[in-house]
Copies of this chain bind each other. A is one copy, B any other.
């Protein structure tokens, strides 16, 4: 309302004061540092929570890295946990946009879709780089769910699993019961997850050299896909023959 009069003069004030005028969230660092405290906290808290976990991450470290006072988290978010919940929401958005599923047309084969799905999951799980903190954080929630996990399941996991389920339905047909399909989805996801959660142990077991030689993302995707596709196709075949057999024994008796 105060804009209504003496408006022209105040534009300069708005622009220079830096209050709530941070139009772009990324890019220019000098401009960033003039953004408001709330934004700075959100930007900094993600990587810290990702690296340390909720418990071991300290408000003091976050505030120091955001270059704000220690009381700022409580002032803007209430407490540490509320900040964490906001960060998880941010991580979900970034995790999806970071490694999205490709667009499919009506004539994309089921196998290609499954390849895309596995590729996306591996990239999300094992991805490194600037935004990988979001995936690390989400993985923490999977391994040790907090209040935030329910939100992730509804908005992220269930939709993603449903896609895999429909692909498997395409391959396996309608006869195979839903829970068998879901077991297969879990078996595929399990393999992708393994190389993230057990990465430390795998490296210790294989040694750096061997791991670098045979366990990069592309090789893992290829192995997981080949391994899983063979298993799925066998399931279909075995189900077909078992139906035939029971049908035959029915007729025979």
Tell me the A residues contacting B by CB distance below 8 Å. Answer: 55-56, 141-145, 149-150, 153, 157-158, 161, 179-180, 182-184, 186-187, 189-191, 193-195, 197-198, 200-202, 204-206, 210, 213-215, 223-224, 226-228, 230-231, 233-235, 238
* Cross-chain pairs A/B with CB under 8 angstroms, 20 sampled: A142-B200, A143-B198, A143-B200, A144-B200, A150-B204, A157-B205, A183-B215, A183-B227, A184-B227, A186-B191, A187-B224, A187-B227, A189-B194, A190-B194, A193-B197, A193-B198, A226-B235, A227-B231, A227-B235, A230-B231
Pairwise interchain contact A149-B201, C-beta atoms closer than 8 A:
yes
> Knowing that A153-B201, A182-B214 are A-B contacts, what are 12 other residue pairs whose CB atoms are under 8 Å apart, sorted by A's residue number?
A55-B55, A143-B197, A145-B201, A153-B205, A179-B210, A180-B223, A183-B215, A193-B197, A226-B234, A226-B238, A230-B235, A233-B234
How many copies of the chain does the oligomer comprise?
Answer: 2
Closest to A152 in B: B201
Tell which of B180, B194, B235 touches A193, judged by Cβ atoms closer than 8 Å: B194
Whether the Cβ atoms of B145 and A204 lie closer than 8 Å is yes
Question: Considering the chains assembled together, what is the distance between the CA atoms of A141 and B197 in angstroms?
Answer: 11
Chain B contacts for A197, CB-based, 8 A: 142-143, 193, 197
Q: Please, how many angstroms separate the alpha-carbon atoms of A186 and B194 in the complex?
A: 8
CA distance A105 to B234 in the complex (A): 30
CB closest chain-B residue, reference A227: B231
Q: Judge whether A200 and B161 touch: CB under 8 Å.
A: no
A190 to B153, CA, bound (A): 21
- A227 / chain B contacts, CB cutoff of 8 Å: 183-184, 187, 231, 235
